[in-house]
A and B are shown apart, each in its own frame.
Chain A
Amino acid sequence: MPVVEIPTEKWKGKIREVTLGGGGRKTVVVGGETTLPFLHFEGEMPNRPVIAIEIQDCEPDWTGRLVSAWGDAVKDPASWAKAAAAAGADVIALSLESAHPDNQNTGAKEAEASVKKVLDAVDLPLMVFGPYVAEKDNEVLVAAADAARGTVVALGSCEEKNFRTIVAACLASGHVAIAKTPIEINLAKQLNILITDMGLPADRILMDPTTGALGYGLEYTYSVMERLRMAGLQGDGMTGLPIMVTPGEEAWRQKEAKAADGVPEAWGKIEDRAIIWEAMTATSLLLAGADVLVMRHPKAIELVRATVDKWMAK
């Protein structure tokens, strides 16, 4: 048999490593790749992609099937964090949803209390998200940053309109910023430049390129991530950062994950379809370069973890 010479890519860049946790808590390192996802024959993937399980600081308005998967744990962020840890979370992603003006419009004090509760309940690293309303994000994330002083948490979202406040909080308390941009490679790079110009080192940034779920713009996120990752591997220091995506939130917003009735029979059984919707959104984005997945359903999480195990086995 003739020997076939396998072409390999000689990437000169390396994705930066970002560390979360520490200060007496478990540590998680993401990034560090010198090749495209799971192509171990031509480069290193020193850190496996991690799964952050999303919990909220108030009872979620999620679809019933998803809420019941967590049972009574959702009634309190501490019990929910423990349940998430038991479900195998690498990181806890705490959404301060109650701060949304349309929700309970809670403020800094409640945010601080929720963060402390979760930190006390589990020893996993933490990510904290605001309610995606810039003014409120500023208020509650600054409080969260202060409450989590001493360990490294990731704070999001840090967007073009509020990055100064969030980055300042990261600088003051030693945290990581989650830089969110709307599915576009140049905007992502630009925000990273703005953030590093403020003095936050690039290894304290996670990129959130905005997630499209399966059937709802997945292909845009997928291709923007492939382009970001390839630019990073080619040596562009302002795109070569770990990528965080939110397949849980996005998949469970869609009818395919929520609607049992009034949908075509060809969609199949909701129980199976909903889980696949989240899991396949996640695995597809892993193939495009995701380093951190924020997920919701325990069964989907289990499937994705098993898949990552298989990809990482050499």
Chain B
Amino acid sequence: MALTGLDIYKLLPKTNCKQCGQPTCLAFAMKLSQKQAELAACPHVSDQAKQALEAASRPPIRLVTVGVGDGRKIEVGNETVMCRHEKTFFHEPGYVVRIKDTAGDDEIAQTAAAIAAYGVERVGMDLRVSGVAVENASKNTAAFLKAVDLVKAAGDLSLVLMSADPAVMEAALAKSASSKPLIYAATKDNAAQMAALALKFKCPVAVCAEGLEAATALAEEVNKAGVEDIVLDPGTRGFADSLVTLTQLRRLALKKNFRPAGYPIITFPGEQASSPEEETLLAGQQVAKYAGIVVLERFDPSTIYPLLTLRQNIYTDPQKPIQMQPGIYTIGEPGTSSPVYVTTNFSLTYFSVAGEVEGSGLPSWLLVTDSEGLSVLTAWAAGKFDAEKIAKSAKTSGIADKVSHRKIIIPGHVATLRGELEDELSDWQIMVGPREAVDIPSFIKRTWN
């Protein structure tokens, strides 16, 4: 639970020695509470105060890392809000795909390779699947080790090792600990041994127990054994129980500072799903509502791609809207006589305009101008979308080489820029489009021939 400036002040020496760079201890305490200063800047702070402050500044949900691969490792936890509009969701959940060691060598290798190779670009971001959960379904150690090897050979995939047998787990960790796999799972029957393995190999461990109380009690037990990097599996596998339990865990961690609930959560949306679609919708729920690692039963681009898109949506910082790369975009296959529309690089503006232009049925050019991610009216009001900017993007984008006409359509909301633009772009005729994107199809039908 965060301390206020006054709480912190009480723990400081109150000598106003200024060695921290602040004029008074109170000023330093205020800076600390706003996370604009580090406690280490104070040379005189007591150990007791240090401990108290560190405990208080610990995040309510621990940040846990699984895997080591660049752009592939899963870093989850450290969330601070229930709803994204309250601030943002920080660490997007990792998707991993379960592969059983009974699947056969070829299939294991092929699936792992397909997952490793999979990537899709969306609004300038490269979206990927994080890794593979290898399950010791065979109960055979050699088969498990073989499967782990095959998956590791596919690339830098993050690993979840699934076995209830500590001896099997130890053998697998001996080969793979350097890639920091998640140990799945400590249960009430093997918690002490799994905790010992987590410590020995410095790997995170998931605790699995039926229900919120059992899972948090087990997390506490494993934590008391000295393990810090814990992931919770409260055993919920359906829509309603998962929604309720994950909501309660997040609340307990954030609002009650209940430490045993303060860990990321792993889910298995496909385990009881009756179809791939059901698994996908449940995975989607868990992305929106509080999962950290989502284990899927199958790898299929037609369900992975919507899930990656949803995760990108939910984990976008509401204060920092997704921006489009400024430049020329094509709608359909435009030619030299196709219309040229100007708009801003706020993603939602772009999507609205692009959607309506596409709906008009007329292939077109879209000149996306850098408005620092603001919508048309906001950008105009803030001086980020003016005649100069539009003229610059028209001149530097090379649009003049793409079309034989010299007409450019600006958003109706900035009709007032027309005169200035005519000065800046003297070869061009400036057409004023509609104010709302939805009116583009009828506008273009009326004005373009």
Question: Which A residues fall within an 8 A CB radius of B?
Answer: 1-7, 38-41, 101-102, 132-133, 212, 214-220, 222-223, 226-227, 230, 253-256, 264-273, 275-277, 279-280, 283-284, 287, 303, 306-307, 310-314
**Are B285 and A283 within 8 A (Cβ)?**
yes
Contacting residue for A217 out of B120, B247, B348, CB 8 A: B348
A-B contact pairs, 21 of them (CB 8 A): A38-B243, A102-B441, A102-B442, A102-B445, A133-B442, A212-B348, A214-B306, A214-B310, A217-B347, A217-B351, A219-B84, A265-B301, A270-B302, A272-B302, A273-B303, A276-B281, A283-B281, A284-B310, A287-B285, A307-B278, A310-B239
Given contacts A132-B438, A223-B83, A275-B277, contact A216 B351 (CB under 8 A): yes
Q: Is the CB of B284 within 8 A of A284?
A: yes
Complex CA distance for A223 and B58, rounded to whole angstroms: 28
B240 at the A interface (CB under 8 A): yes
Contact among B277, B288, B304, B316 with A287 in the assembled complex (CB-CB below 8 Å): B288
> Quick check: B217 and A268 within 8 Å, CB to CB?
no
The residue in chain A whose Cβ has the minimal distance to the Cβ of B312 is A215
Listed from nearest, the 10 A-B pairs whose CB atoms lie closest are A268-B302, A268-B301, A266-B120, A272-B302, A310-B239, A223-B85, A219-B313, A273-B302, A215-B309, A269-B302
Interface size on B, residues (CB 8 A): 60
Q: Residue B359 at the A interface, CB < 8 A?
A: yes
B277 and A7 contact, CB distance less than 8 A: no
Q: Mark B89-125, 1 if CB is under 8 A from A, else 0.
A: 0000000000000000000000000000011111000
Q: Chain A interface secondary structure, helix, strand, loop or mixed?
A: helix
Report which B residues bind A (CB closer than 8 A): 83-85, 118-122, 212-214, 216-217, 238-240, 243-244, 247-248, 251-252, 255-256, 258, 261, 276-278, 280-281, 284-285, 288-289, 300-306, 309-310, 312-314, 316, 318, 347-348, 351-352, 355, 358-359, 438, 441-442, 445
Task: Please indicate the chain A residues that have their CB under 8 angstroms from the CB of B239 in the complex.
Answer: 307, 310-311
| Set of chain B residues within 8 Å of A5, measured between Cβ atoms | 256
Give Cα A102–Cα B107 distance, bound, in whole angstroms: 54
- With A223-B85, A223-B318, A273-B302 in contact, is A267–B313 under 8 Å at CB? no
Complex formed: what's the CA distance from A270 to B300 in Å? 12
Add 5 more A-B contacts to A212-B351, A273-B303 (CB < 8 A): A1-B214, A4-B216, A214-B310, A255-B358, A307-B281
In whole angstroms, how far apart are the Cα atoms of A1 and B239 in the complex? 26
B213 contact from A2, A133, A214, A279, Cβ within 8 A: A2
Beyond A227-B85, A268-B303, A280-B280, whether A220 also contacts B348 by CB under 8 A is yes
- Give chain A residues whose Cβ lies under 8 Å from the Cβ of B85: 223, 226-227
Classify the interface of chain B: helix, strand, loop or mixed. Answer: helix
B251 contacts A7, CB within 8 Å?
Answer: yes
Q: A264-B120, A287-B285, A311-B243 are in contact. Are A276 and B83 (CB under 8 A)?
A: no
Give chain B residues whose Cβ lies under 8 Å from the Cβ of A41. Answer: 244, 248
